[in-house]
Amino acid sequence: MIASRNLPLLATLLVFVVGYALCVAQFPTMLSPRVLGDLLTDNAVLGVLAVGMAFVVISGGIDLSVGAVMGLTTVFVAVAVTRLGLHPLVAFALALMLGAAFGALVGAVIHYLQAPAFIVTLTAMFMARGLSFLLTTQAVPIDHPLYAKLMSLSLQLPGGGGLGIVALIMLLTFLAGGILLHATRFGAEVFAIGGDRRAAALMGAPVARATVLTYALSSFMAALAGVVMSLYTRAGYPLTGVGVELDAIAAVVIGGALLSGGVGTMFGALLGVLIQGLILSYINFDGTLSSWWTKIVIGALLFAFIGLQKALLTLPSLRSQTP
């Protein structure tokens, strides 16, 4: 019999398969490799964010600052390359280190001050967004040969189409995130503190270190998403990423993670991202529907998965997930 803890993931997989089949039945070209490549490319930024958010949600926390950190990163990279003359790779490295440090500070405040993650990350969101506007209030275009070279890289798919650099980055982050979450001691600690923080501490789990590292990882991924966005748009803009943190949380929850922590998979988070992208792709192919239908459908799916999780929480085995 299927373990109850796997039912949310199986439900997500079923939603994706059925949804994709219905889309292909109406628009057969959606099965082409080119469309598949575009689906991954267009949702690469959200995918990178979802990797970090998955760790936070499984640990029983929440991070509202990732969209602002992503926007700050695009501005920082644009200003560093365009106005300060730094090489893009140097700017990328600095942005990733600063992002990780920012997240580590957030995690330390949450743990050592026993402050609610919602309030702390909301404060961090305001700070990061404000810093973006201190750097610039306008869009800053990036004109560097490396950007054109990186965006020209592509892994060709059979039958046409290909995976660009941003899609490849997303897939690699999901692969690395899956290994880290499901096959390392750190991943086991994330599941433990998400299942029961006090019990994890009593059993000797390094709750402080795991909390700080979890939020550092989330902010690092937000900074990486900012780098990916700067490659995708070749610009930095302080309003980049407004509201995207909610999309990342939705992707993780639709992917089968519990907001109360302790349950979730990296594959589920990927499916949650692809489901959101599939909805938008269908709307684009249809041509008569408003893009706001994406939000409506995602909201309906969230209600459905929250109801499913509430029902499954009555089953003790759901809380006993192991990485």
Q: Which tens digit of pLDDT belongs to each residue from 194-224? A: 988 888 888 888 999 999 999 999 999 999 9
Question: What residues does each domain of the chain span?
Answer: 4-20+34-317
For residue 131, pLDDT over 60 is answered with yes
Task: Give the pLDDT confidence score for residue 265 in this predicted structure.
Answer: 93
For residue 132, pLDDT over 90 is answered with yes
Q: What percent of the chain has pLDDT over 70?
A: 93
Average pLDDT value for residue range 73-86 = 95
Task: Give the pLDDT confidence score for residue 322 in this predicted structure.
Answer: 43
For residue 187, pLDDT over 90 is answered with yes
Q: Identify the band that residue 320 occupies on the pLDDT scale cut at 50, 70 and 90.
A: very low
Task: Give the pLDDT confidence score for residue 298 in this predicted structure.
Answer: 83
Task: Give the pLDDT confidence score for residue 315 in this predicted structure.
Answer: 55
Distances (CA, A) of 278 to 26, 35, 89, 126, 245: 13, 10, 32, 31, 19
CA-closest candidate to residue 284, choices 18, 15, 29: 29
Q: Which residues of 64-73 are buried (b: 16+ CB within 10 A; e: fewer)?
A: bbbbbbbbbb
Task: Please state the pTM of the whole predicted model.
Answer: 0.91
Cα distance between residue 285 and residue 290, in whole Å? 12
Task: Give the pLDDT confidence score for residue 30 in this predicted structure.
Answer: 85
- Answer yes or no: CATH 1.20.120 is held by domain 4-20+34-317: no
For residue 133, pLDDT over 80 is answered with yes
Task: Give the pLDDT confidence score for residue 93 in this predicted structure.
Answer: 97
CA-closest candidate to residue 179, choices 107, 254, 265, 256: 265
Cα distance between residue 24 and residue 150, in whole Å? 32
Q: Identify the band that residue 172 occupies on the pLDDT scale cut at 50, 70 and 90.
A: very high
